[in-house]
A and B are shown apart, each in its own frame.
Chain A
Amino acid sequence: MSDALAFLWLPFLVAICLVGIHAYFGIQVLKRKVIFVDLALAQIAALGATTAFMLGHPAQSLATYGYSLAFTLAAAILLAFTRNWAGRVPQEALIGVIYVVAAAAAILLIDRAPQGAEHLKQILTGNILTSGPHDLALIMPLYAAIGLLHWSLRSRLTGTGSLAWEFVFYATFGAVVTSSVAIAGVLLVFSFLIIPAAIGVMFASSLGRQLAIGWVAGTVTSALGLAGSFAFDLPTGAAMVCAYGASLALAGMLYPFLRGDRAHALRTTIAAARWGAAALLAASAVQLAAAPRADQPLLDTAEAMIPVLRSLYLSRNEAATFADASTYAARYGADAEQLNELERRNRTQGEALDDFSIARISSFLKSYGEMRKGEQFVMQEVRARARERIRWAGALGLMALALVAAPLPWRRLAKVSG
């Protein structure tokens, strides 16, 4: 627990800062309908940094930052104009073009520089987990200044003003995105930008309330995502993005309950859940009947969670063979690991093994691998044959479960037929 706290408090503070500014920009971006503008700006900034790198400037130098900023400002001018150009071609399409061309141009540049690919990757795939106090020291004053600027210009930066105000909007947004993408990566920054803003817009209409809801949702989701990534041993950025997706889905599901007829919403939800379950069961029934040897996602998941289910359709002999093969597969795996461990220890301890002994170990390991694969094949084959045998009965059973799950009006049907 203390480990978790020691690890997560800094990323959490960084996440709060990022949510703070991005939720605001997200609301603006949603209003202007330029959803992917952050990706375009981040990619342009990366192109600027790549150009600096190509010209021989080190990665974290002032020159590199200058190039990034100059490219971003140029892109901001371009983006400010896209609103006027967007007639038959939507603005979002132009933004998409800026994004792909900047990405492709960076790849072409990188192709000429050794070690450039890793450099580009580092600009665009920050890792919030390894963010530190220096990141906070950079973004806190920057975001505070930009936030204040926007607050004082709030009557001008509405998205309907002149080109100059649009430029100010995109330029400040570019400065925010350039720093945040380097810290948290493209995927997570996009989530910070869009999801809290979307939740805010969903439940409120004034900017103040939208922001408040977005900030609370973003902070809670970040905390859950970080905690989940620690508890379940998951890559942090990806876990947080999925947590954000889940929070948006949850908000979508809660919406009808908070804004409308609750009883009706409850009925609809239950009906939808039952239809969903029925569809899943029916599809599994068809899959089992049509291709019993193929993967059966529903059955496989159920068996993995409750292994006893297997005894429902495996005969006693089959069950014994299955268990036997499973034991042997585990044993071969363990034996191989032991051998690997022995070799690893020998690198530093005792008399070094000669190449001949190493070659023998490696051929033993290969045999163990083959034997293990063989046992796994036996397990698959036993199960596939048993499923083939029960395909019709199993499919019928699943179909019956699907009928039970489906919210069909049985009584009315009974009346009609009766």
Chain B
Amino acid sequence: MRLALHAALAAWVALASSALAEERIEVVTTTTDLRSLTEAVGGERVAVTSLVPAGLDAEEYQPKPQDALRLKSARAFVRIGLDYDLWADRLLLATPNGTIRRGAPGYVDASYGIATLEVRGMSVGPGDGHAHGNGNPHYWLDPHNAEVITASIVAGLTRIDPESAGTYEANRTAFLARLTEKIAQWEAKLAPMRGMALVAYHNSWPYFARRFRLDFVGFIEVKPGVPPSPSHLAGIIRLMKERGARIVVREPTEPQRDVAFVADKAGAKIATLGGAVGALPQANDYIALFDANVDALTAAAR
């Protein structure tokens, strides 16, 4: 009897929650940052999944069979673009879901309208750790760019769900108000570091540097996936000594050994910053990501 009651209860809960899920619009994003921003504007109206789980390197992600299933039932798809999540192209080509293909109403390329940095036609000039001719893709690391990104997301959501347009716009306005306040705080906290020389493992930080006026003078990794040569490392260490760089910025997915080696030789500290939401345990949404990064930087500069 008791068992039957439990079973009935469980079935009811399952039914109720699936009914609730049907209410919400399923949105798939490529990264956790976009998930956080989509949740910020979508609020209760959306159920968002990120294809790349928190803490994985999105540039090297390999899609899984489950990802194809997620796309199949999605009504909107939000991606970083700028060749950052190229692996998503093959998923999109394979999906039978016509509403999220490139150019369809549910397709959102969040890089649309972003003022891109470090555009290099076809790999012009010295290597800087990127094979991205279309510009450096880490634009979400400038919190001001969230204004543009959320605008694209609201436009996409409005296309597939016009009735809730007002809700999305209101959510976005509230989020941006909170963000603007936070940006002022972050800028104040990082103001003493203006112009301070920093070194990073990978060139993920130009947008962040531009917003907070930081000076990344060099990178340990010259090409993604290729270990640095001894002369490059010697050059970096010499540069750090010349410019008085006392901080090496590392993301949790980047090799501890090489970073520790450079920091040790140059007498610098290591600051571990998250390149995406969820990369650090305390960075569980877009604003918390910057809180964590700003704290890590100021702690290392002390």
Contact = CB atoms under 8 A, between A and B. Distances in A.
Interface of A: 3-4, 6-8, 59, 111, 114-115, 117-118, 121-122, 125-127, 129-130, 132, 226, 229-231, 233-239, 333, 336-337, 340, 343-344, 346-349, 352, 355-356, 358-359, 362, 365-366, 368-370, 372-373
Given A127-B257, A347-B210, A337 B124 contact: yes
Contact of A236 (B120, B121, B230): B230
Contacts of A346: 210
24 contacts: A3-B231, A114-B278, A115-B252, A118-B255, A125-B227, A126-B257, A127-B227, A127-B258, A229-B229, A233-B229, A233-B231, A235-B229, A336-B119, A336-B120, A340-B125, A343-B118, A348-B195, A352-B213, A362-B119, A365-B121, A365-B135, A369-B120, A369-B122, A369-B124
B261 interface: yes
B10 interface: no
Q: Is the interface of A mostly helix, strand, loop or mixed?
A: helix
Given A117-B56, A129-B233, A347-B213, A369 B228 contact: no
B256 A122 contact: yes
Contact of B232 (A233, A352, A359): A233
Given A122-B256, A333-B124, A355-B115, A3 B213 contact: no
Contact of A348 (B194, B227, B228, B257): B194
B147 to A, nearest CB: 9
Given A118-B255, A129-B233, A373-B121, A347 B227 contact: no
Nearest to B281: A114
A7 B233 contact: yes
Given A235-B227, A359-B115, A114 B238 contact: no
B16 interface: no
Interface string B113-143: 0011111111011100000010100000000
Contacts of B194: 348
Contacts of B116: 358-359, 362
Contacts of A121: 255
Given A114-B278, A235-B226, A358-B115, A372 B122 contact: yes
Contact of A368 (B121, B238, B278): B121
B253 interface: yes
B133 A369 contact: yes
A367 to B, nearest CB: 9
A226 B234 CA distance: 14
Given A7-B233, A118-B57, A362 B117 contact: yes
A337 B234 CA distance: 24
Nearest to A329: B124
A372 B135 contact: no
Select the residue from A226, A235, A373 with max chain B CB neighbours within 10 A.
Answer: A235
